[in-house]
Amino acid sequence: RYWKTTRKDKTDIYVLCDISGSVSAWSRVLLLFMQALNEVLPSTRCFVFCSRSIEVTDLFRQYPADEALAIVQQRHGLSSSDYGIALNTFHEQIAEKLNRRSCVIILGDGRGNGGDSGIGSLREIYHRARLVLWFNPESQHNWNTGDSEIRRYQSATHYVAECGSLRKLERLLDGLLSLVR
């Protein structure tokens, strides 16, 4: 008798987090989410943006959460968001590594301030990754109002969810862990 073994490939996770002024109240929570994810799934790569996407994975590995958060906010946070530049540079940084084992999580409100949406880059990511998730800290009734591009982004993601409370973020993290483990 032969025992059949199934090899489960490890999921590569890429997280892109908006730390602009429009989500400043949530930036800390979103960055803590990234820290928690990095502790549970060490293959996670973390990026932040106001405009250009910047990898901060090593900061979260080298420093305790509060210190890493302070460094990220000091160096990169609280200006206006530019999702076009962020998604385009994020795509450039991860494109060669994306494959059917990749899970991409974007944390942000999707408010582009009238600039390029970066939807072309997001669609490229969507077509190459196994899963693209968007967690939005805004209340769902504010989506698609004003300068929100979330409806366009929904067309290039597998799932968009409101994460406007710690409880909702915790549920999303639990659901994510069951998908990628």
Q: How far apart are the first and last CA of the chain?
A: 29
What angle in degrees, to the nearest 10, is found between the helix axes of 119-128 and 83-94? 30
pLDDT attached to residue 118: 96
Q: Give the range among 19-33, 106-120, 133-147 with minimum mean pLDDT.
A: 19-33
- pLDDT category at 181 given cuts 50, 70, 90 is low
Query: What's the pLDDT band for 129 if we cut at 50, 70, 90?
Result: very high
Q: Token pair 């982004």 is at which residue?
A: 153
- Radius of gyration over every alpha carbon of the chain, rounded to an integer in angstroms: 16
Of the candidate ranges 71-75, 82-86, 119-123, 174-178, the one whose mean pLDDT is the lowest: 174-178
Lowest mean pLDDT among 83-87, 105-109, 159-163, 174-178: 174-178
Q: What is the mean pLDDT of the chain?
A: 86
Pairing of strands 44-49, 54-55: antiparallel
Tokens standing for residue 80: 């206006």
pLDDT in tens, 1-38: 454 555 456 789 999 999 887 787 777 777 777 777 77
* Pair 28, 59: CB distance under 8 Å: no
Superfamily the domain 12-180 falls into: von Willebrand factor, type A domain (3.40.50.410)
Residues whose CB is less than 8 angstroms from the CB of residue 151 and which lie 6 or more positions away in sequence, other chains included: 143, 144
- Cβ neighbours for 177, distance < 8 A, ≥ 6 positions apart: 40, 41
Distance of alpha carbon 152 from alpha carbon 144, whole angstroms: 9
What pTM was computed for the model?
Answer: 0.89
CA nearest neighbour of 139 among 25, 20, 36, 19: 25
Question: Which among 166, 31, 1 has a CA at the least distance from the CA of 105?
Answer: 31
Strands across the sheet containing 12-18: 54-55, 44-49, 12-18, 102-107, 131-136, 159-162
